[in-house]
Chain A
């Protein structure tokens, strides 16, 4: 062995003392770190369970902490995000809007590809509607939720309620039947009752939601003031939304403030975009007709390109034909279509219009039949009838109540509801 090599060996065989110390410390630290990480990971893994337990115990602040801990290690964990969002919203550390915004961000972090995406979108929709009071965003989210999972009852339910809250209660049928389909058997009667209330007592149907959103005091009855406040709040948050503008305009029309309704509708930021929403278009055309602005009504109607199978399309087509174009034949054809689609069977005023068109066309016999039918349905809409039904509906265990509902819908030529109520009646009787 050469002296050089010997010297080299000598220098490596024995590192200097400080270096050994540093290495030892580093090893210790690393080991500690790994241990700590391991323990932390283990603890974090337990956090999810602890958090769930705290959530069940309504210890929301602690639950939040646990879920935060878990998410630090499992950033993409969808369930954890769901739970953390829930804990934040239920907690009382923040203002509701702030909590909702944070929760929305968390939920947004769950991609559409996740198995929990539908649930996430639904929860986002619920937050957007009830806390952030942004129904347009809520509707987008809820529609996405049902596209991702058509079996998610809550999403359909929230859509139905959203329609109720935005003056579209008469156009919520599709959403209701989805809810009904997904509802367990034992609760179907309550659903049918809710549907009846939604259609024939829309104020009562939204009362509880208005209380939760702060537009009604506890124990206060539904009233127009609360509805207007709700719509104003929506407008404040989403003044560019076609649906929100149209909902506010519809409330103005119902109060007979026609000029204000048209001003609101035409003042929307992007009218060409807004009229792609059919509820907006329908409301605008109706207001124009009432104000005698028929040429404008016609030109807006000409822009109705899609979804020409909706009730509101046919209703509008009929009024344009009858009033703006004086084409009674086309009006009758349109009204015939409108009357087949809910709320058509209950629209006795539309039936009357149709009858008047027939009379002008010289078909006196059919006109008289139409008038009689209109009168019959009008009488079904009398306050006394519905006071009686509402009183009866308090007790769904009374076969008399269910029979009343069967008969009511049968009189309205609504076989679907009538059959459902009949099913409930048979279920009740067989259970006795």
Chain B
């Protein structure tokens, strides 16, 4: 559905909430080629102390031990500073838990104006004690405060944000996920009723009872996904009254026994309906697109989803091989107006770039673009798309680390920063990006957010065996920026809205999506780097409702909250 009207609006600042962010110090603008990416791990200085507890028991080789935890960014207290939710593991076999051993819990860190992180998990009642895997941040009850869905090995949980700094466990989710191994989840309005629904990805049927140990030469290690059966994903429809119901079959998601690890929502076919891409481990991936039946609309009955990945060319590699997919990044890497896909995969088995060709077709372009050759030596997990050098072309951060255990080489690995040349070709610029990139890690969840509100995207990375890292983006580009947060008329996130920013002769388009990476949830603001030295830019927002709105002369170096059919307001700082 294409927008059929366009209205140009001038920005009107909201007097109550507007506070101008001081303009960044003007530095001589650098060309993209000369910009040196720089990231600094400021976890310690930010008092962000956290290390994922994986409960590794020597000789047990129980697979959940190597999967790590997710990272979720969200402004839970709406103070304009993005906060951080970190998933934690727990003792997997309570029968062997040592007496007196403390419980391990998830942690919520409140961001104090970008200078400090404070652990408020317990006081906020947000410190779940399940064996944490992934998290999905979203405002399911549309009260303006983002909530958290927790994917656990075992029973999942939904933390409803009370808006007063506390959370409560919501019992509204009735789903048959008890005891399942859930990995990732995403909030998205699947049936166009204005409520955020939940797509929950499940991994495998791997329990302490059926767990196996595999031999790698003379060493024992963890068995891979080929040794276990997959578990079907679950789709929960939000009924709007705090309750959910299982609509997996009803909506056409079927009973696919994939071994899902990641999920992302975007609009690949430009129809303004959410498309859901699920990354599976050594099984074909899925791309669910909405189909609308010709039957009369009787509520949700006419909306259906169909897996088009096989015929679209994004289910398997170009050779037809299932790949061990862990993390997803969605972005228009080649600047052709279509959202592409980047997936992280297993060691020596290339990451994959699916270039969106339009017309529902993707092409595995990994060999030509340098994606294959830059990924062969690594095993990738979390992946974040961000414009590091602010040349308007999305680059990539990849968290790497092997899974077979410490006695088998390779184990810990360096992370990567891959810069995009504008045509979707990537080169590894990790070595000079900072000390973090020179060290080796067992990287797992990774998510991006501008935690210090300086206009560039920072990254939080969770590891196994080492503390979490908070990579502050200190790359100096001298460029201006603008960030945009979108909301539909009913104030729910407007997934699949398209935002095109124009500054001078430059245009860049981004689609408002959700999910992605591995087990993680990035801040949902869209970041744009302004290429010329304009102090204002033009924004065209194409809403899923079909409406388009043009905002002329929007001042730069600000964050904007744009709600459909309302004047944009500056984000609170």
Contact = CB atoms under 8 A, between A and B. Distances in A.
B295 to A, nearest CB: 26
Contacts of A258: 373, 376
Contacts, number: 52
Nearest to A288: B367
Contacts of A356: 313, 318, 363-364
Nearest to B349: A256
Contacts of A291: 372-373
B367 A294 contact: yes
Determine which residue in A290, A291, A348, A356 has the highest number of CB atoms from chain B within 10 A of its CB, and name it.
A356
A360 B357 CA distance: 8
Contacts of B318: 352-353, 356
A374 interface: yes
B47 to A, nearest CB: 43
B272 to A, nearest CB: 23
B348 A292 contact: no
Interface string A294-333: 1000000000000000000000000000011000000000
B367 A374 contact: no
Determine which residue in A359, A368, A371 has the highest number of CB atoms from chain B within 10 A of its CB, and name it.
A359
A353 B321 CA distance: 11
B301 interface: no
A290 B367 contact: yes
Determine which residue in A294, A324, A352 has the highest number of CB atoms from chain B within 10 A of its CB, and name it.
A352
A270 interface: no
Contacts of B320: 348-349, 351-353, 374, 378
Contacts of A368: 311
Contacts of A378: 320
B49 to A, nearest CB: 39
Contacts of A348: 320
Interface in A44-87: none
A360 B363 contact: yes
Given A258-B376, A291-B373, A349-B321, A323 B368 contact: yes
A292 B368 contact: yes
B370 interface: yes
A371 B311 contact: yes
Determine which residue in A292, A352, A360 has the highest number of CB atoms from chain B within 10 A of its CB, and name it.
A292
A93 interface: no
B313 A292 contact: no
A289 interface: yes
B363 A290 contact: no
A246 interface: no
Nearest to A372: B310
Nearest to A374: B320
Given A256-B348, A352-B320, A323 B367 contact: yes
B207 interface: no
Contacts of B319: 349, 352-353
A359 B363 CA distance: 10
Given A291-B373, A378-B320, A359 B368 contact: no
A360 B356 CA distance: 11
B311 A292 contact: no
Interface in A358-398: 359-360, 364, 367-368, 371, 374, 378
Contacts of A364: 311
A360 B310 contact: no
A135 to B, nearest CB: 28
B373 A359 contact: no
Contacts of A360: 313, 357, 361, 363
Interface in A260-305: 289-292, 294
A371 B363 contact: no
Interface residues of A, number: 23
Given A292-B367, A294-B368, A371-B311, A256 B361 contact: no
B370 A292 contact: yes
Given A256-B349, A292-B370, A359 B376 contact: no
Nearest to A378: B320
For chain B, the bracket of interface size reads 20 to 34
A117 B425 CA distance: 59
A258 B376 CA distance: 9
Contacts of A371: 310-311
B430 to A, nearest CB: 17
B367 A289 contact: yes
Contacts of A256: 348-349, 376
Determine which residue in B320, B348, B372 has the highest number of CB atoms from chain A within 10 A of its CB, and name it.
B320
A351 B318 CA distance: 11
Interface in B270-323: 310-311, 313, 316, 318-321
Contacts of B370: 292
A150 B369 CA distance: 49
B370 to A, nearest CB: 5
Interface in A332-358: 348-349, 351-353, 356
Interface string A11-31: 000000000000000000000
A371 B309 CA distance: 12
Contacts of B367: 289-290, 292, 294, 323
A324 B361 CA distance: 19
B317 to A, nearest CB: 9
Nearest to A348: B320
A351 B320 CA distance: 9
Contacts of A352: 316, 318-320
Contacts of A374: 320
Contact of B313 (A289, A349, A351, A359): A359
Contacts of A324: 368
A359 B357 CA distance: 11
B361 to A, nearest CB: 6
Nearest to B366: A292
Contact of B373 (A292, A349, A367): A292
A324 B367 CA distance: 9
A19 to B, nearest CB: 89
A37 B65 CA distance: 88
A367 B376 contact: no
A136 to B, nearest CB: 30
A335 B349 CA distance: 24
A270 B404 CA distance: 41
A397 to B, nearest CB: 36
Nearest to A328: B363
Nearest to A293: B373
A203 B88 CA distance: 46
A380 to B, nearest CB: 14
A240 B156 CA distance: 62
Contacts of B363: 356, 360
Contact of B361 (A290, A294, A323, A359): A359
Interface string B307-350: 00011010010111100000000000000000000000000110
Nearest to B425: A292
A367 B313 CA distance: 10
A348 B319 CA distance: 8
Contacts of A289: 367
Contacts of A323: 367-368
B408 to A, nearest CB: 16
Contacts of B357: 360
B321 A359 contact: no
A351 B319 CA distance: 8
Contacts of B311: 359, 364, 367-368, 371
11 contacts: A256-B348, A258-B373, A258-B376, A291-B372, A292-B369, A292-B372, A294-B368, A349-B321, A352-B319, A353-B318, A360-B363
Interface of B: 310-311, 313, 316, 318-321, 348-349, 357, 361, 363-364, 367-370, 372-373, 376
Given A356-B363, A367-B311, 15 more contacts: A256-B376, A290-B367, A290-B372, A292-B367, A292-B372, A292-B373, A349-B320, A352-B319, A352-B320, A356-B318, A360-B313, A360-B357, A360-B361, A371-B310, A374-B320
Interface of A: 256, 258, 289-292, 294, 323-324, 348-349, 351-353, 356, 359-360, 364, 367-368, 371, 374, 378
Give me the 5 closest cross-chain CB pairs, A-B, nearest first.
Answer: A352-B320, A256-B348, A349-B319, A292-B373, A291-B373
